[in-house]
Amino acid sequence: MPVTLPQLHDKFERGEPLVMVTAYDFPGARAAQAAGVDMVLVGDSGAEMVLGYPSTVAVSTEEMLMLTAAVRRGLQEPLLIADLPFGSYEASDDQAVMTAARFVREAGAQAVKLERGNATSVARAVAIVQAGIPVMGHVGLTPQSATALGGNRAQGRSAEAATRICREALALQDAGCFAIVLEAIPAAVTEELVSLLRVPTIGIGAGPAAAGQVLVFHDLLGLRDGTGARFVRRYANLGAEAVAALSNYAEDVRARRYPAAEHCYTIEPGELAEFRAALGNP
């Protein structure tokens, strides 16, 4: 049966860890589906992972809708959440609600996620929730505003910064968010936050105290260059395997080892003779 928000909250209340992963296409969605995760996030990290942009801020609403719709076609059970891209919700409550509604109506998302817990994002979260669309919050390192935060680095490492993140998380909870992502903050700060919040927290580089964890699909499968952030754990090295497979394929083609007889279709000798005769080649 499809995962619902009440089911997620029940798991949270029972202390069962929640599993979330990103996906950006049909094959990724099918893999997440088969693995039995609780939630799939179509993150704006797809801008970098699959579209080749230098940062998340470049991805458009239309592109995110396309990615979300592709994931939707590959999912049955996990809850599908879509990131609202940069510039698609900040201007006004009306803009935020219209964008969120498009992800639900056109792409099949069941919830949306927005970044930051400042006054603007909190107001937009309230408007979207009041429109009947579930919202997931996101505090700590928020990639859409990484430039203002000094780059993609850990947040909340001073008392002042940790207090700000706490205020933002509580504000998003009060706005009606059903869960909050905590990204790249000290594990000890997460421990304090989870003791204050009544909604599930989903950690990414935030330590083990969060109610659940999320990793980027390409990070955990080794499908991107480099080692990634400190919190990334690679569970496979599919990138290297893909390069090796493609190299072997190229070598076989150049050596005329592929395709071999077993890869070819056949035609009955009589049909072949008739065909050759029609071509004037008896």
| Residues labelled catalytic | 183
C-beta contacts of 50-53 below 8 A and 24+ residues apart:
50/24, 50/25
Peptide bond just before 259 cis, omega within 30 deg: yes
- Cα 189 to chain centroid distance, Å, stands at 24
Using an 8 Å Cβ cutoff, are 77 and 39 in contact? no
CA-to-CA dists, residue 236 to 60, 222, 264, 266, angstroms? 30, 6, 33, 39
Query: Can you name the residues that pair with 261 across neighbouring β-strands?
Result: none
H-state helical runs in the chain = 5-14, 26-35, 46-49, 61-72, 93-105, 119-130, 159-175, 187-196, 217-220, 238-254, 269-278
Q: Distance between CA 192 and CA 170 in Å, rounded?
A: 12
Q: Distance between CA 147 and CA 94 in Å, rounded?
A: 26
